[in-house]
Structure 1
Amino acid sequence: MHKFPVIGLTLDAEEPGGYSKFPWYALRQNYFTAVREAGGLPIALPHDAAAAAAYLALCDGILVTGGAFDVDPALYGDTSLHETVSLKPARTDFELAITRAALAANKPVLGICGGEQLLAVALGGTLIQHIPDSIANALAHEQPNPRDQPGHTIAITADTLLARIVGSAAMAVNSAHHQAVATPGPGAMVNALAPDGVIEGIEHPGYRFALGVQWHPEFKVDTQDIAILRAFVDAARG
């Protein structure tokens, strides 16, 4: 076992423009610095679904990151496609492949924002394609204030992994999503809710560590955010 658990972080991908005139990968620095602060050694994973097992073999845990895109509704059995849905098929294919492989190997998985939604789909769950069209009087889950500030609070379900990690019944969270988990999948459970009833966290007790949070703990807007990352890295120690 490594002195520092190796944590594979999924990258985002963009088409030409901005950083490069050719297609490029990207990820905010604070994903990496937060994993290091939590005691892990982060490495970046490009989108090669055929090599998912080989990449997983290098890692002690998998962190599925967020991004401004959506999981294809067809992957959770929804034949409709909301006009707001934006797809990145190669990224989703890789993330599903490595997440399912990690779960099968019982290696820890942490899903953040879109990564939580991806984890739900990997577990057989479903998503809400556009919160404003599905939830009456919904909060602004695409918060207008900066992402390094809280947008709303969440209520944490007692007797869950998340509750044990943070030791609290509530947290302040940052919010940057227009979709949400609708159902967490067979055997999985909801561990956090926003005041408007939107699911903010899921977990599956049948695995060593399978946790998804809809907010971005790498920004550490709540004092307990780093505890989530530390618990994930500690689980990856074996």
Structure 2
Amino acid sequence: MTKRPLIGLTLDAEPAGGWSKYPWYALRQNYCEAVAAAGGLAVALPHDAGLAEDYLGRLDGLIVTGGAFDVDPALYGEAERHATVELKADRTTAELALLQGALRRDMPVLGICGGEQLLAVVLGGSLIQHIPDAMAGALEHEQKTPHYQPGHEVEILRGTRLYDIVGPRMLVNTSHHQAVRGAGRSVVNAVAPDGVIEGIEVPGLKFCIGVQWHPEYLIDKGDTAIFAAMMAAANG
């Protein structure tokens, strides 16, 4: 029987109040379900950059999850911050340490939504801080319908690893106001009909893919294929 690879998933964090009178972590259940369905074991990663190497030494793969916050524009060299930008500095610091360490190890990495954006920044890329202000005629990238329903189609670019995994097109959900502007040392592998970059990858690494949508909702057969491909790489 093939061993189930151990996949670390980054957590979201909230301050005291609401669910708990103490600060608390959060992760949607379907992230873990998607990993398990693909043959992996999910483990949650707290926000402690100093322990990143210790965690990575025990993991077979890393998933940087999404969340309702943004990457600090200072990390990609922009002094101005759009009024819509919201930060979670401790989370970003921890995710940076995990991503940088995983890339050094050539550990399989999947960046999801904000995780894809942070991956692009780690690879020397940049972001659009607010799509509606930067792109005239852009699609609605923050869908109002449930995320188990598609928001739009994406084209997967030929010659990429993602194309080999999922084929030429996917229907995806959409929940973001920012997007990758420049891919840095990665290459673009998916685009929306309005030209917004929807995915990136790093050729030559075992598995390093970022997608702007949330494949853990498994709304397209390609979503299942992405998780399966990551687990295969983590077991390789």
Fold shared by both chains (TM-score > 0.5): yes
Cα distance, 1:206 vs. partner?
A: 2.9
What stretches of structure 1 move > 3 A for 4+ residues in a row?
none
1:60-209 alignment runs, 5 A limit: 60-166=60-166, 168-186=167-185, 188-209=186-207
Q: Which residue of 2 aligns with 1:210?
A: 208
- Matched residue count: 235
Q: Which residue of 2 aligns with 1:10?
A: 10
- Tell me how far apart the structure 1 counterparts of residues 117 and 204 of structure 2 sit (CA, whole Å): 18
Aligned residue for 2:95, secondary structure, equals helix
Amino acid in the other structure paired with 2:173: N
- Tell me how far apart the structure 2 counterparts of residues 136 and 201 of structure 1 sit (CA, whole Å): 21
Cα distance, 1:96 vs. partner?
A: 0.7
Could you list the runs of 5+ residues in structure 2 that have no partner in the other structure?
A: none
Q: Deviations over 1:160-211 (max 9, x none)?
A: 0000001x2111000000000001112x100000000000000010311110
Amino acid in the other structure paired with 1:157: L
- Tell me how far apart the structure 1 counterparts of residues 183 and 188 of structure 2 sit (CA, whole Å): 7
- Tell me how far apart the structure 2 counterparts of residues 63 and 13 of structure 1 sit (CA, whole Å): 16
TM score, norm. by length of structure 2: 0.98
Identity value in percent: 62
Q: Deviations over 1:105-137 (max 9, x none)?
A: 000100000000011011111111000011110
Aligned residue for 2:9, secondary structure, equals strand
How much is the aligned-residue C-alpha RMSD, in angstroms?
Answer: 0.9
TM score, norm. by length of structure 1: 0.97
Amino acid in the other structure paired with 2:199: G
